[in-house]
Amino acid sequence: AQRVTQPEKLLSVFKGAPVELKCNYSYSGSPELFWYVQYSRQRLQLLLRHISRESIKGFTADLNKGETSFHLKKPFAQEEDSAMYYCALSGGGAQKLVFGQGTRLTINP
């Protein structure tokens, strides 16, 4: 079964501190992993996907198949990073996304 777990519902860090949002997945094949973000009063939008291997807004995420993880990291948090973050998985040719429960990130000034 496909499953995505985000162990932290809430995460609070100070501005300028490093931030890591955890994501673990369960999938028997080769999944595609995504991070989606929802800022206040905005719609859900793609932040990054593992096949792109790029950094968006200073965020990076590396797919670790051994640990089945896809943690989202940023070395220096900014107040505008405060948002709801969802990790998602797609696999087996099926285009549906399987989402984690989300982590609400709050950056304190």
Partner 1 sequence: NAGVMQNPRHLVRRRGQEARLRCSPMKGHSHVYWYRQLPEEGLKFMVYLQKENIIDESGMPKERFSAEFPKEGPSILRIQQVVRGDSAAYFCASSPGTSRDTQYFGPGTRLTVL
Neighbours of 55 (CB within 10 A): 12
Q: Which of 12, 51, 54, 75 binds partner 1 (CB under 8 A)?
A: 51
Which two structure tokens, joined as six digits, stand for 93?
Answer: 């040719």
Give the residue with the Cβ less far from partner 1, 38 or 60: 38
| Position 44 contacts partner 1 (CB under 8 A) | yes
Give the residue with the Cβ less far from partner 1, 65 or 96: 96
Cβ-count burial of 52 within 10 angstroms (0-12 exposed, 13-18 middle, 19+ buried)? exposed
Give the residue with the Cβ less far from partner 1, 32 or 60: 32
Give the residue with the Cβ less far from partner 1, 43 or 109: 43
Beta-strand ranges (E) seen in 58-99 are 60-61, 72-74, 83-90, 98-99
In angstroms, rounded to a whole number, what is the distance separating the alpha carbons of residues 109 and 90? 36
Question: What is the maximal distance between C-alpha atoms in the chain?
Answer: 43
| Position 89 contacts partner 1 (CB under 8 A) | no
| Position 1 contacts partner 1 (CB under 8 A) | no
| Position 28 contacts partner 1 (CB under 8 A) | no
Binding region for partner 1 (CB under 8 A): 4, 6, 32, 36, 43-46, 49, 51, 86, 90, 93-102
